Amino acid sequence: MQFPERFSNLPPYAFPRLRALLDAHAPGGEVMHMSIGEPRHPFPPWVSEVIAENAAGFNSYPPNDGSPRLREAIAGWLGRRYGVELDPDSRIMALNGTREGLYNVAMALVPERKKGQRPVVLIPNPFYQVYMVAAISVGAEPVFVPATAETGHLPDYAALPPALLNRVAAAYVCSPANPQGAVADRDWWSTLLALAERYDFRVFADECYGEIYRDTPPPGALEVAAQTGADPERVAIFHSLSKRSNLPGLRSGFIAGGPESIARVKTLRAYAGAPLPGPLQAAAARAWADEAHVTENRALYREKYAIADEILGGVPGYRGPEAGFFLWLPVEDGERAALRLWKETGIRVLPGAYLAQDGPDGNPGKGYIRVAMVAPGGDLRRGLIRLRDCLYG
């Protein structure tokens, strides 16, 4: 029996790899999971009510592109949040979680050849693993660009050689960044969009953490594109209710971009997509239209930023995140630190190297651990004190 070779060299996925590292050892204390970015704040109580009210919709196939009500709610939110007015019929499509869209956008929009050569997809390093698999799936060459302290924890795509940039078909960006919590400001976005115009590539902006921040709302790629007059087809953005509304299990996200780009993604999805069930679309529409629960959620995370700054502020190299809910903590070796933390305290964190690829200068995540600040405030405080005393005491 023959199997395809395209995925044969993939590294083990981060969490099976973490289990292989830790599970053979007994925890050294009360187990606390701080490795997975799964929000634990309560979601709005009316979500269950909306689903129940619309339960008859489970008897019908749901609209593949998202119901008109859902797309209109998303368009309304984009107008309030970013000041962009998009036609909900031609420029927005609902997703069954943004991972689906981040994968299929490459399928739909990355060409087979770029100027007669194999296309390149740029990926920040560290990165969300679906970017790499999407590039491999379409036969593109994934090029991992360090996003380190030296570059502000964002990739410096403009520093790449012109010969490589001429082959670029698309560039993934995550802002606020997972795992580092860095935010691309307006100048950063403007520079990238100008580079994309010059070298004719698309920008895929993963903005799923954009509603969790300290003080200033992070700017969005589509927002800056509209302000600078960039081609609407140049940018596709991705958002989700997973972090914004503490609803990772609802699997509600969306893609927004130029009309031709969205039309092509819709065509692919008609064949290969799995639409969100109707009752869940109704709940999602209500969630995108409501800001009160988002404001409450953000206040809880701001309290967590303060807790982390208080407990870890004296750690050499500590940098509190600008946004998102991850701590990217410097250590000598991420694997050794994660194993020690588990064996001595029972706290489970993710080695940074598991979120990155080796490069010419090594693995940019090796000297870090990623810590998810998803536990309730009191639990988080106790966990970070145990972590600090174990690794930095």
Residues 6+ apart with CB under 8 A from 323: 176, 181, 183, 209, 210, 212, 213, 214, 218
Q: Is the pLDDT confidence value at 4 over 90? A: no
User: pTM of this prediction?
Assistant: 0.97
Q: Which pLDDT tens digit goes with each residue over 86-107?
A: 999 999 999 999 999 999 999 9
Residues 6+ apart with CB under 8 A from 2: none
* Burial of residue 237, with CB atoms counted within 10 A of its CB: 0-12 exposed, 13-18 middle, 19 or more buried: buried
Residues 6+ apart with CB under 8 A from 362: none
Task: State the average pLDDT over residues 3-8.
Answer: 86
Task: Give the containing element (helix H, strand E) for 175.
Answer: none
Judge whether 153 and 146 are in contact, CB under 8 Å: no
pLDDT of residue 111: 98
Q: Which pLDDT tens digit goes with each residue over 240-260?
A: 999 999 999 999 999 999 999
* Burial of residue 386, with CB atoms counted within 10 A of its CB: 0-12 exposed, 13-18 middle, 19 or more buried: buried
Residues 6+ apart with CB under 8 A from 54: 278, 279, 282, 283
Confidence of residue 8 (pLDDT cuts 50, 70, 90): confident
Class of domain 14-37+293-391 as given by CATH:
alpha beta
Confidence of residue 322 (pLDDT cuts 50, 70, 90): very high
Question: If you average pLDDT over every residue of the chain, what do you get?
Answer: 97
Measured over the CA atoms of residue 239, residue 241, residue 246 and residue 248, the dihedral's sign is: negative
Between the alpha carbon of residue 196 and those of residues 202, 237, 357, the distances in Å are 6, 15, 24
Q: Which of 160, 155, 252, 271 is nearest to 204 (CA)?
A: 155
* Domain 14-37+293-391 shares a fold with domain 46-290: no
Q: Which of 213, 266, 217, 291 is nearest to 105 (CA)?
A: 266
Q: Which of 349, 327, 330, 337 is nearest to 32 (CA)?
A: 349
Tokens 């998009």, residue located: 86
Peptide bond before residue 364 is cis, with ω within 30 degrees of 0: no
105: left (phi over 0), alpha (psi -120 to 50) or beta: alpha
Q: How many other CB atoms are found less than 10 A from the CB of residue 8?
A: 7
Class of domain 46-290 as given by CATH:
alpha beta
Task: State the average pLDDT over residues 146-161.
Answer: 98
Judge whether 202 and 172 are in contact, CB under 8 Å: no
pLDDT of residue 46: 98
Q: Is the pLDDT confidence value at 3 over 90? A: no
Task: State the average pLDDT over residues 321-327.
Answer: 98
Between the alpha carbon of residue 306 and those of residues 188, 367, 379, the distances in Å are 27, 24, 14
Task: State the average pLDDT over residues 169-176.
Answer: 98
Judge whether 309 and 327 are in contact, CB under 8 Å: no
Q: Is the pLDDT confidence value at 153 over 90? A: yes
Q: Which pLDDT tens digit goes with each residue over 45-93?
A: 999 999 999 999 999 999 999 999 999 999 999 999 999 999 999 999 9
Q: Which pLDDT tens digit goes with each residue over 295-311?
A: 999 999 999 999 999 99
Domain boundaries, the chain: 14-37+293-391, 46-290
Confidence of residue 5 (pLDDT cuts 50, 70, 90): confident
Judge whether 196 and 203 are in contact, CB under 8 Å: yes
Task: State the average pLDDT over residues 362-370.
Answer: 97
Question: What is the CA angle 191-197-200, rounded to 5?
Answer: 130
